[in-house]
Structure 1
């Protein structure tokens, strides 16, 4: 007997089921001794993580219970591979169930997961391999585990660093023989966090279980998590706001979360707002300023936002990771108010990886509040009579989170009164124990339990206002760029040497943040200067992916400290004041 296959009924694969927003499991706000304990509790409920494709279609609902089981299997495999407590396991931080299980599996094995970045659309193959190689040399892991599609790139980096590299789909085929898992103590290191911008001088921030859970509890209490809350995120898991705020926090606070991959958000940014619109509960979602900016620009002036979106249940629209621009926030409100977005949903914040994540949060419902500060006060320079006064709107970044203290100090450490601009220091249980294997850098920023953030700001009635970047960090579109990396890239060009280049961030007349590169040039030929400027601009773009302002200046122009080191802060001030005069070149 034959069967007519064409007439047989087709059995469709079951659609993925999202994890619920609400649950009968009583919510606990990160009151656990270790991250493993937090996962065990979350696994008792029905909530979990939900992964979506570029169009916002659910691909996988991943309950915390399943993630706990997969993490245990990963821990067994790691232990079988010789991993012992204190070892580092580097993981390419793709937004996926595989990374989530491996991160927690590494923790359960007593080792330290080290999330490392995905490749970006710029810089090319060799640039990415070199970035991974340097970070691998810094954290000295036993293994690098990566997704299949990055096998060639990550594998080459592992080989260059002398580290075992393995595709995580192959790793998952190894036997997961049950063994006794080590018991973590609350003061043990939980993970290492790297800044993605640090390619030449990486700093691995060592965070304990206690520090992590303290910060997650402070964040949960700060945003006043409620039963109807659901998190929506596109932030990468190799940055602290994505890793801590939108991956580890949902586990420790039992919040179901919907994810878009970062690269999918970049291609279809409005899919982020689609996910928020479909959320049956109230939304917690965070972004640097540029994320709001992209969405406001993408929505057509001919399109009525209310026809596509319902943002009326967006309860907390967090802002952080770069300088918050009130004009962009207002543009977002203007674009999406008719879709129900309330300006009071904006929740500005301030934080850094060295404090685990959050240092300050605006109380929910207060929205964006600004103060106007004269620019000469911000730079610390005197105001010349022949220069017009210019004011900058400084955003209120909220109050210190629970158990955190903030002080603004003079350079000599003297605390400053309200309204006086100085260095921002913080102290609390979530401050890092230090930089991994870098006691000199640790000693330079940790003093008597206080962390020198390197940022500039002022206090006003218990609120912190951040007025400047970290001491030398250039942050563009939420990405950190070390000026040394830009300067080093230029130094590789013929005719330049260390000390010829200073890189820093400036604000263009249009209000955009951009890197500026001052380069001491010895050539007197204008055509050669134009060629060099264009070559430098292309070199910096290839390394960082950013267009930049390149100014050629006379030799011996860049300022030095008393010890002979380049002073980028002074170079920036002199340039903005017009006291460093670049050569006048054709565009």
Structure 2
């Protein structure tokens, strides 16, 4: 069954001529609160929520935001950028109203990763404890589907004001308040994969504006270009996508992660029917789309209007690029559509991004040359011992990156090491955690803990330093091994994670499966690793479908996998 959409929520993306009218409108943008009077004058642009069968025009946002700001004033929260306000709401008009209400009140927004209430109220509230404590929240704005839990939240945190977003009456103008400055705190971004002691990246208004404008510029967004997002708004990727397409006066079609994952083909058919130009997501999202295409579930759709597929949030797989051209090219998607990028919450997403209209590059690197500080050896093409690595593009607008070795020394282009970056969209530091801030920022450069190299001014990312598996003195990148084995027959939908058993210096492969012949699958995984990675013996653990945990943006929770494995958790 297709996605049913009321006529009121149909896209206006085909109206108007291409141009950059939004650039003139936002020329004086210094903070995200400065966007509100611009939105109030808009005659185009809307946020479309197909699952809710509703939409929100850009021009409607200011009045709703001013209503939220008034309630924050009544709660004693306005004009205090050092204070933090939590936003607990799913993708909805209420989340958007709350976010801009916080900006208008000149306090800092803390988007709260949406908890699951499937196991009951108490476990869900326990998951909030670490964030409420770490952020020292003074107020929580509650929206759907969590309105009914407001009383329970108030009872659990008696010193925290709880405001239902739906109770905030729209106001025609902003209550008198000091407008934020570029150096004021806009957002404290906590990772969706945070533990009981999460770190909050402090993002100033100026940094958020730099990220949004840089994304729009590098992405080549023009007037009338519509976009789709399914990454949740509490995630930095989803948040910046929302703000970017508000700035550019674009229609933005917003889905929940559950709908995209469970109904991928129908979502992409909707994307094609609406003539949407921009799509964002990590690599696994594109694998899902390509699997749907390979199964014939996208036959007959027209993707000629697709301008950019922003692929970021995890390393981009060369096989995904190849399959994208093979499977979606016949449907109209051009080779320039796939747009790899690299970033982090600490940079409001953007560290590097392929320019609009470019074609992503792939190089084949001798696996043995990926050693700390060493020169990377490039092969002419695929061959034994070579691993494909995809370019994540040149530096994001205003950003610089460099590579350093284990001793902190900067190495030349073409050498392997840790990626460091700095730029106008960089975090101020971690909230109330000077030790973490000092460890992460060295001489003004942020240490990403990711490894890679630079060629021709473009960044190639190989994986995280913490995900390195050391066996008999040899370094193996977990992502590299996962790419080699994810298509072994019997692995469920490429669900495979590689971790290190440090105490035994062993590589452990954890693969989801539904196969009855588990011995054949284990043998197949070991043979593939031996052939492509050159490691003769590994531990393989087969688990049931759904055992491997992901974050809201689709990344594997490797730390949780290690904990469950080595704590003797049943698999």
TM-score, normalised with respect to structure 2: 0.77
Q: Residue 228 of structure 1 is aligned with which of 224, 227, 230? A: 224
Q: Residue 72 of structure 1 is aligned with which of 52, 66, 77? A: 66
Local SS of the residue matching 2:198: coil
Structure 1: 5+ residue stretches without partners: 1-12, 383-387, 475-502, 522-532, 556-582
Residue aligning to 2:481:
507
Q: Within 5 Å, which residues of 2 pair with 1:231-310?
A: 231-244=227-240, 246-280=241-275, 283-299=277-293, 301-302=295-296, 305-307=298-300, 309-310=301-302
Q: Within 5 Å, which residues of 2 pair with 1:336-485?
A: 336-378=328-370, 380=372, 390-469=385-464, 471=466
Offset from partner CA, 1:206-263 (integer Å, 9 cap, x none) = 111111111222222211222232111111111111111x111112232221111222
Q: Residue 38 of structure 2 is aligned with which of 18, 38, 41? A: 41
Contact 1:354 1:432 in 2 (8 A): yes
Local SS of the residue matching 1:358: coil
Offset from partner CA, 1:57-104 (integer Å, 9 cap, x none) = x82221111011110111111111211322211012411111101100
Contact 2:352 2:392 in 1 (8 A): yes
Contact 2:413 2:455 in 1 (8 A): yes
Change (3 A) 1:426 1:60: same
Shift of 1:328: 2.4
Residue aligning to 1:103:
99
Change (3 A) 1:328 1:16: closer
Larger mean Cα displacement after TM superposition, 192-201 or 115-124: 115-124
Alignment partners' CA distance in 1, 2:503 and 2:217: 51
Alignment partners' CA distance in 2, 1:331 and 1:14: 35
Change (3 A) 1:554 1:223: closer
Alignment partners' CA distance in 2, 1:217 and 1:14: 31
Contact 1:98 1:168 in 2 (8 A): no
Residue aligning to 2:84:
88
Contact 1:541 1:547 in 2 (8 A): no
Residue aligning to 1:320:
312
Alignment partners' CA distance in 1, 2:157 and 2:467: 28
Contact 2:64 2:168 in 1 (8 A): no
Contact 1:19 1:50 in 2 (8 A): no
Alignment partners' CA distance in 1, 2:31 and 2:296: 51
CA RMSD of aligned residues (A): 3.8
Offset from partner CA, 1:93-129 (integer Å, 9 cap, x none) = 4111111011000110011111111235987765543
Shift of 1:438: 0.8
Offset from partner CA, 1:19-77 (integer Å, 9 cap, x none) = 556569932275411111123213322233333334xxx82221111011110111111
Larger mean Cα displacement after TM superposition, 312-321 or 115-124: 115-124
Larger mean Cα displacement after TM superposition, 543-552 or 136-145: 543-552
Larger mean Cα displacement after TM superposition, 368-377 or 454-463: 368-377
Alignment partners' CA distance in 2, 1:180 and 1:404: 36
Alignment partners' CA distance in 1, 2:99 and 2:292: 35
Shift of 1:185: 1.0
Shift of 1:410: 1.7
Alignment partners' CA distance in 1, 2:468 and 2:126: 21
Local SS of the residue matching 1:399: coil
Local SS of the residue matching 2:432: coil
Change (3 A) 1:154 1:390: farther
Shift of 1:17: 6.1
Change (3 A) 1:251 1:302: closer
Shift of 1:407: 0.8
Residue aligning to 1:217:
213
Q: Residue 183 of structure 2 is aligned with which of 183, 187, 210? A: 187
Alignment partners' CA distance in 2, 1:46 and 1:300: 41
Change (3 A) 1:520 1:554: farther
Shift of 1:357: 1.6
Structure 2: 5+ residue stretches without partners: 1-5, 375-382, 470-476, 487-493, 505-538
Local SS of the residue matching 2:250: coil
Q: Residue 119 of structure 1 is aligned with which of 111, 115, 125? A: 115
Alignment partners' CA distance in 2, 1:518 and 1:261: 36
Alignment partners' CA distance in 2, 1:262 and 1:135: 22
Alignment partners' CA distance in 1, 2:296 and 2:195: 43
State how many pairs are aligned: 494
Shift of 1:147: 2.7
Alignment partners' CA distance in 2, 1:52 and 1:177: 26
Alignment partners' CA distance in 1, 2:13 and 2:295: 35
Shift of 1:536: 12
Which has the higher Rg, Structure 1 or Structure 2? 1
Q: Residue 135 of structure 1 is aligned with which of 131, 134, 141? A: 131
Alignment partners' CA distance in 1, 2:127 and 2:542: 20
Shift of 1:161: 4.6
Contact 1:71 1:108 in 2 (8 A): yes
Offset from partner CA, 1:529-580 (integer Å, 9 cap, x none) = xxxx999979x9497697988799999xxxxxxxxxxxxxxxxxxxxxxxxx
Local SS of the residue matching 2:261: helix
